[in-house]
């Protein structure tokens, strides 16, 4: 019997998840079907859509914007990553239970450490933005052994509040929050742009001096080419600039393994989806 999976979002036509999971399933010889599901943004719309999918025999779902917090509320059991993030990007339906996970940060760390070959342990890390993407990344970054994590946001109070919330989970990692205007005298080994600025070809207001020599500049947005953030780093002489396609594929691989018990190879899929940074 073919197992059914889907990704739910609104809009959803742009999603690469069906392509990614289709390639994984073919390579791993898995009997599964993966489709898109347009969720309703009206109150209760997400729950109705998921209920219907489960009633039709659905086994699991990926969740994208704007439903990650809805999925958090819908799940009956949450992983530590999902609890800290306050958001869920993958669901598994098992014996009447709804298990919720957040693989975004795990996928990000795997991409940096395995695909890009850069250990996070001992590094000074800057994360721009204090939204859901940042919340999902913090625990995996701390587990990877970052020396310091600084969260910088246009609204400094939001960044400081997130740092305070996260500190009890950091286990020896220094976590700080500040405004974007407080970064001028600091340098970092890894800089993540977790803001939405690149979606509109905008630039977070930061100085190129934040990039240490040899620093990695990583934009979580993917498929947009050389975003203003990545161009800032490249113009500052930093050659290690990447977008979030590896994170996208690695988080999908985490969900696939969680559902199917098989770890897919991600290299060819990443190569297929990569857009030149020009």
Active site residues: 68
Q: Report how far apart, in Å, the C-alpha atoms of 179 and of each of 52, 108, 130, 152, 278 are.
A: 44, 23, 10, 5, 30
User: Other C-beta atoms within 10 Å of 246: how many?
Assistant: 25
Q: Is 145 helix (H, G, I), strand (E, B) or coil?
A: coil
Q: How far is the C-alpha of 198 from the C-alpha of 252, rounded, in Å?
A: 22
Helix ranges, the chain (H): 17-28, 45-55, 68-74, 80-85, 104-110, 132-143, 156-166, 228-235, 245-260, 267-273
The C-alpha angle 118, 123, 128, rounded to 5 degrees, equals 95
Buried b (16+ CB within 10 A) or exposed e, 41-71: eeeeebbebbeebbeeebbbbbbbeebbbbb
Helix ranges, 86-126 (H): 104-110
CB contact at 8 A, 102 and 138:
no
DSSP code of residue 112: I
């Amino acid at each position: 019997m073919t197992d059914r999976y889907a990704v739910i979002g609104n809009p959803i036509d742009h999603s690469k998840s069906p392509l990614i999971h289709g390639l994984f399933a073919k390579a791993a010889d898995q009997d599964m079907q993966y489709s898109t599901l347009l969720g309703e943004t009206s109150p209760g719309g997400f729950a109705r859509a998921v209920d219907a999918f489960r009633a039709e025999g659905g086994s699991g779902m990926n969740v994208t914007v704007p439903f990650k917090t809805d999925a958090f509320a819908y799940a009956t059991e949450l992983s530590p990553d999902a609890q800290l993030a306050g958001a869920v990007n993958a669901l598994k339906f098992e014996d009447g239970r709804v298990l919720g996970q957040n693989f975004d940060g795990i996928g990000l760390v795997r991409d940096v450490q395995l695909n890009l070959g850069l250990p996070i342990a001992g590094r000074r890390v800057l994360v721009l933005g204090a939204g859901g993407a940042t919340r999902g990344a913090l625990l995996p970054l701390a587990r990877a052994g970052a020396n310091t994590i600084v969260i910088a946001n246009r609204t400094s109070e939001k960044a400081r509040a997130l740092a305070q919330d996260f500190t009890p989970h950091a286990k020896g990692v220094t976590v700080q929050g500040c405004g974007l205007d407080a970064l001028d005298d600091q340098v970092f080994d890894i800089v993540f742009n977790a803001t939405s600025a690149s979606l509109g070809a905008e630039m977070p207001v930061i100085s190129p001096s934040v990039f240490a020599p040899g620093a990695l500049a990583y934009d979580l947005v993917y498929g947009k080419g050389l975003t203003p953030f990545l161009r800032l780093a490249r113009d500052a002489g930093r050659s290690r600039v990447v977008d979030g396609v590896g994170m996208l594929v690695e988080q999908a691989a985490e969900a696939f393994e969680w559902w199917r018990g098989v770890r897919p190879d991600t290299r060819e899929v990443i190569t297929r989806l990569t857009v030149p940074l020009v």
